Structure 1
Amino acid sequence: MLAQLITLNNLTSESLNISKSLFKLGRDPTNDKQLTNNKISFLHLQIEFEESQFTILDNSINGTFLNGKRIGKGNKVIIQNGDTIHILPLDRVQPEEIIGFQFLTDKIKDSRSHSDEIQSINHNKSKDEIVSKLNTHNQQFEELADELICTICNDYLFEAVTTNPCNHHFCGACLSTWLEKQLHNDCPNCRVSIKSIMIARMMNNLVEKWLKCNPSQNKTATLMAKMKEENLIYKNPNYYLNFQEEYAKKNQNQFDQQNESDEFLSNDDDFDDNNPQLYQNQLVLPNNAVQFQLFNPPPPQQIQPVQPCKSCNGQVWKQYQCTDIQIHIGCSSCGRLMPKRLLSKYLSFNLSAEQENEQLQMMCCICKVYDCKFYYGDCNKPNLNKLMLVKDIRDMVQIPQNFINNVEYQRIINHLKDNQAPFIFDFMMEHYINKGDFYFEQNKRTFNYPLQDLNVKITPDTPVCWQCHRKLINFIIFKYVQSQKYDEPIFSYPDCFYGINCRTQHWNQFHAGKYNHICEQTKFH
């Protein structure tokens, strides 16, 4: 054995042994090591041992990086003991997608003689130290996975919810079943009284990304359908936002109903003759006449004056002032409360599009995370969840590298020719979004393992958060290609049955070029 490549991420590759003078790595199965990621070139790199030194030749399009610096396609440089080799740029891939290795060998000394070659960092670490570091990394990764476990069912969270004030996470179905069986609304973990329950969308995103890396740990479709049915929190989220108050009202109503059920009207023989109200407005009639007992009508109830909301201190926002019974929601960034003004089906028919947008511009149209930017004018502590309007994301539109697959990516690039990616956005805005004919669709036909089905109408003034805007841009590109299929010959290939979710397209170049994969999945196992 000449050298070793110690993996830096067990999720993407295992450690490799280099036992011959020319070692090739890439997506083609004829290489010494095949990596199936579609972003990797057919022959990505090759490591050669000659004249008592190792060199690495970069043949890739997306890049090979030595100690954090790009080598460049066609360039050959010397690699030494302890150098780090990364495939694909670190700033463009998710942490779980990183492909990296530590180069170890005892055949050469750690020195470089040419100033124009890439500088390397001499780690001077033994193999035992590196293995120890990797074990620590794997242990930390497992500890992260433990945070995604529901303590009620001891499985990965599904439709996660979080309890306030203790901030523990559970499956929505598990917590719903727990609360129905308990006499008190206590947290299953710490037994603290639950004041409110909210949908944990960020936790759902983490679980979704984790399960993409570990598909074998997905729940069965039957179990997911059962848990969706049992999840009362997702079905009625407004009730659980002020859970402590609603729970107290529910118990009081049950108590009142029980007391009312104990009251009854006595028979005439047992009637209380000493009741003075019984003889008010009594009529004296002949003995043979039917007697009627008249009662004074109850006094009209006094209308209580509307009390101003304590959360808003009587302030008026967008010509709206909420009352003390208004439901409020906290901003996901700064925590500031704002009235939760969701439209009912009846009211939506009586409002203009501008008034409707004013009421709905408080949460992301995709992940439904709340933000106070458009409600109060600005957010106190904006973070990655900050909102923007759809019409403002034009300059962010880019064709992702190898969109769907590298064949579809080249078709789109060839179709655009001299036009830039925002051309697609302008076309969809003019012909669909401005006319109210564009809907963001998230289901098993258009996404792999969607946490929930969505069908959201998108307008120029629809808000979308920073984390979801890329998903919306990709769907706009997806719909654009579908609209051009019958007008543009470059897109007029027969649709694959598995569409955008096809697995074969990523490793079979012939299949990817023969069919169109920018389409919905129509065949399921």
Structure 2
Amino acid sequence: MFLSTVLSKSIALRTPNNIILSWLGCDLSFPANKLVSGEHCKIVQYENSGMVWLEDMSTNGTVINMSKLVKKQLHMVQNGDVIHFVYRKNEPEQSECLFWLSTVTVPSQDNTDAMEPERKRRKTTNGDGPALGLLRDLLGRKALAVEAKTDKMEDSLTCIICQDLLHDCVSLQPCMHTFCSACYSGWMERSSLCPTCRCPVERIRKNHILNNLVEAYLIQHPEKCRSEEDLKGMDSRNKITQDMLQPKVDRSLSDEEGSSDYLFEFSDNDSDWSDNRQCPGYRKEGAQDPFTTGSSVSVYPRSATLLDPVQEYRCSPQGSHVICSCCLQAMPDRRSEPGSQQHAVQQCGVCQRPFCHMYWGCERIGCQGCLVRFSGVNLPNKCLDGVLNSNNYESEILQNYLSSRGMSWRDVLQQGLQALEQGAFHLSDYRISGSTVLCYCCGQRTFKELAYRFRQNIPASELPAAVTARPDCYWGRNCRTQVKAHHAV
């Protein structure tokens, strides 16, 4: 009995009972391949019947003619069977230890002539043996064979470490790659990176969906189940504890107050979240209620310039509230009241989102004025960076022009508003003027459009020659590649 490799090397198995091992000193060893088990498989040929049986004894399994054997499973092999001791399902070209089994029998003189035509018919043109010729033909069509026989569901449910179906699987976060708990337990002792993508592992979670899919798949394919000994061995190697799967999270009060999700964890009592400075009985930490005590202490921030109607207003017992889009705090909803635009401005004139800055002053740290009139918008000093359609080159030209004349973005705003009132400039939203109430985002977006009109009306004589000598782009302000430096220059 012979095993023929893909490299035209024949290995004789002289004893009736042969065990394929990875250690030296055995019938057939592969010491360089770590995926071959210590006792991988046993090939037995019975002298009386001449039948050859293969019994799998490995952890990763043995593949015969693209069909996988699990541990302790027997399979009768015949001439021409292709045996993989190591088989990569997703990478067939990297499969190792590929053999072609052929048994040697001594034909009698009577049937020699009858077998001769068969032997000649199967002889290949390059002089190779029949097994090797058919093996090369099989490898030439390996893509078609794998596509036809590979079980896509099994591929998706296979652990890349043990190359078998997932057992008690866990998923790593943030990459979400999944492995057997026992397989990853051995890996995490050596590395803190994901075995697949080498991404740092932050958390480990049970993947209940995949575990249920594996269970359903094994019901349909019971022959692919692991042996009881294998399952017990994997459970004993599982070092992932419950603390690793459910780490303790220390949430302080400051974390909850800074989280937007916390604000929407409503209780049965609406007053728990809707109370505001003008609700009856409201108490702010460190301050007294001026409505009930008559104290001169005010709960309003000093920066807020409030009108008397706003200060004197008291919420009704069933009054509605609205949440500020900046600080996420509640305030009384007075937008539908007559004359509210004069004493209780609470929403942006463009996007209609509610803000509290013009009502009683926004208390969010870092708020630059979440709701103001367009003429009083407060932008950062770097607001001119990329102000012209995110075109850094054109924006730099505008900044150099302003610097040479001692001007800032506020001058651009004031001159632009004057030109807007005179009809020299036109915005895409004709409703916007200097007195329009805008939120910070809408104000910044409108300023960019106003700055574009300002740059458009700069005379060419006031610009450097290097700027005016450039050819105009065919697409103008609608050019989609103007953000690229090589195109803008």
Question: TM-score with structure 2 length normalisation?
Answer: 0.31
Larger Rg: 2
Structure with the larger RCO, 1 or 2 (CA within 8 Å, 6+ apart):
1
Question: TM-score with structure 1 length normalisation?
Answer: 0.29
